[in-house]
Amino acid sequence: MLDLNIGSDNPDYRNSLLNAQSDFSLPSGGLPLLLSANFSHLTDFGRPVDLSNSAKLTEFKALDSTLTTVSFAPGAPLDTVLLPRTLSILTLVAHQQLTKILTSKP
């Protein structure tokens, strides 16, 4: 899988089926080919997201979601990271290409 679009950039998007009690989880072996992930506007999700095996990830969006924890693969070539204000734990190691982390849309 190259793109994971669980959320949407559309501010009117809502998905009440994905919440803290839902059965959603990423594969146990991770998503090693993942290039982009969008968790934006998931207002009831409130779960950790572990992308520590996604070493090719370049884009991560989670604006206006309720994510609390995000882990990225060390050295992944991230160039876009849009995080929610609810984030309390961020694992980000050796990301030389990343120059900005935003919590609101530019």
Q: How confident is the model at residue 60 (pLDDT cuts 50, 70, 90)?
A: very high
For the chain, what is the mean pLDDT? 88
Angstrom distance (rounded) from CA 55 to CA 58:
9
Q: What is the pLDDT of residue 21?
A: 78
Q: 1-5, 70-74, 96-100: lowest mean pLDDT where?
A: 96-100
pLDDT digits (tens, 9 = 90+) for 24-34: 788 888 899 99
Please name every residue paired with 71 in a beta bridge, in sequence order, or none if there are none: 50, 91
Angstrom distance (rounded) from CA 76 to CA 54:
7
Q: How confident is the model at residue 45 (pLDDT cuts 50, 70, 90)?
A: confident
CA neighbor of 38 nearest in space, from 51, 19, 29: 51
pLDDT digits (tens, 9 = 90+) for 15-26: 877 877 777 788
The structure tokens 């059965």 sit at 23
Give the length of the chain: 106
On the CB side of 79, CA atoms within 13 Å amount to 3
Q: At 70, is the secondary structure helix, strand, or coil?
A: strand
Residue 102 pLDDT greater than 90, yes or no: no
Give Cβ neighbours of residue 45 (< 8 Å, ≥ 6 apart).
18, 19, 20, 39, 65, 66, 67
